[in-house]
Structures are given as structure tokens and as C-alpha cells.
Amino acid sequence: MPKAREHARVGVMGGTFDPIHHGHLVAASEVAAQYDLDEVIFVPTGQPSFKQNQQVTEAEHRYLMTVIATASNPRFTVSRVDIEREGLTYTVDTLRDLKQDRPDDELFFITGADAVTQMAQWKDADMLWNMAQFVGVTRPGHDIDLSGLPQDSVKILEVPAMAISSTNCRDRARNGQPVWYLVPDGVVQYIAKHGLYQQEGTEVSQ
């Protein structure tokens, strides 16, 4: 992809993506438009640190669904940094690895606004603020309490389509209900082709 400027503005959308759904894609697209981003990198997690008591679909499936879902958007890319790193996934490691490859770029980490309010408890939280701008996406009309967080580093953006969750998509697939239009068509077909989400997992919604 040709770079529009010397210091590219790059969104980073971390997630389990089990499966990726239109909520993720709308959020990335809205933040890209609002912050004039050149690129959004989707980063499927390895084992997420906050989902240790939960069965997560094997990384290659989640990676491939993310590739399928983002393939048609020239500004969307997918990184393997988190799935190739051993151990639990922490945002500080994600940002450090991405920054190493693109030291001149400005990073915008996109995450659900609920997660943003927990950021002070993330690994190496005080380092995070200088590594990226954090954009918490929230549903319209939902107030988020940002007290205790550095105001310059954390912004909130309202996006539609927030009601969709991967937990709900998995439940639907398991119960034989449609996931059409909640996830991209290719992801519907990928789930069916590989028989994903047919068995009961030890799932907890996050």
C-alpha cells in the first residue's frame, strides 16, 4: 500500500476476533474516518490475558477470518505479531512490536470504551500512554468515566453497530441461528466450512 505521508497515521485494532464481526469493522472504519488514518492494522490476539478461563478458537482460524473480513478494504491489513508471540497477549507488547516495524508512524489503538476505563490496570500501563493514542469506541448516548486516565492520550468515539458481539455470534452458530449480516459473508461461509462454534465451550462474555 502506498504511504500517503512520511509519518503515517495507523490504527491498531486488537481483538480475539472469535469471530470478527461488523461491529469491529464499523468501529475501525469510523475511527479511520474521524482520525484521518492511512491504515488500520487488525491484530488477532494469541491467548488474551483476560480470557484465560475461556476456550478460544485456534489462532489460525481467527487470523484467516480476519483476513477474509478485511480483504476488500485497501486500508485494512492484518498482523500476526500477537499470534506469533509466545504466551499471553498484552497490549504493551503488541504496540512495541508494531512500533519496531514502523518507528516513524503514529499509532492509534482502538478498543471498546469499557476496556479503556480498565486501562490503568493493564500491564505497563504508564508506558502505554506514550506509545499510542487510545480511542475508546462506545455506543451513542453511553457516558464513559475517564477520570484517572490521561486526557491527552484517551479519546472516546461513538459508533453504531455496538450491539453485535462475538459471544452472540458463537451462540447463534451453535444454536443453528443465522449469523448472516452480523459477520461478513465470507466469515459466515468460513464458519460453516470448518464447523466452528458447534461445541459448548467454557465461555464467559467479556
Binding site for ligand ATP (CB under 6 A): 15-18, 23-24, 27, 111-112, 115, 137, 159, 161-162, 164-167, 205-206
Q: How many CB atoms lie within 10 A of CB 175?
A: 8
Instruction: Tell me the residue nearest to Mg ion as measured from the CB.
Output: 206
Q: Is 168 in the site for Mg ion (CB under 5 A)?
A: no
**What is the nearest approach in angstroms of ligand ATP to the Cβ of residue 71?**
18
* Alpha-carbon gap, residue 119 to 154, rounded angstroms: 10
DSSP 124: T
**What is the nearest approach in angstroms of Mg ion to the Cβ of residue 107?**
21
* Alpha-carbon gap, residue 196 to 142, rounded angstroms: 33
Q: Is 49 in the site for Mg ion (CB under 5 A)?
A: no
**What is the nearest approach in angstroms of ligand ATP to the Cβ of residue 106?**
19
Q: Which amino acid is it at 28?
A: A
Stretch that binds Mg ion, among 49-57, 94-102, 125-133, 198-206 (CB under 5 A): 198-206
Q: Is 206 in the site for Mg ion (CB under 5 A)?
A: yes
Q: How far is CA 67 from CA 28, 73, 112, 136, in A?
A: 14, 10, 21, 23
Residues 134, 109 contacting (CB under 8 angstroms) = yes
Q: Dig out the grid coordinates for 141 from the structure.
A: 448516548
**What is the nearest approach in angstroms of ligand ATP to the Cβ of residue 4?**
25
**What is the nearest approach in angstroms of Mg ion to the Cβ of residue 51?**
8
Closest to ligand ATP by CB, 9 vs 69, is: 69
Closest to ligand ATP by CB, 104 vs 118, is: 118
**What is the nearest approach in angstroms of Mg ion to the Cβ of residue 169?**
11
Closest to ligand ATP by CB, 70 vs 111, is: 111
* Alpha-carbon gap, residue 163 to 113, rounded angstroms: 13
Q: Where are the beta strands (DSSP E) in the chain?
A: 9-15, 39-44, 47-48, 76-78, 88-89, 106-112, 133-138, 154-158
* Alpha-carbon gap, residue 157 to 110, rounded angstroms: 10
15 binds, among Mg ion, ligand ATP, none (CB under 5 to 8 A by kind): ligand ATP
Q: Which residue ranges make up the site for Mg ion (CB under 5 A)?
A: 206
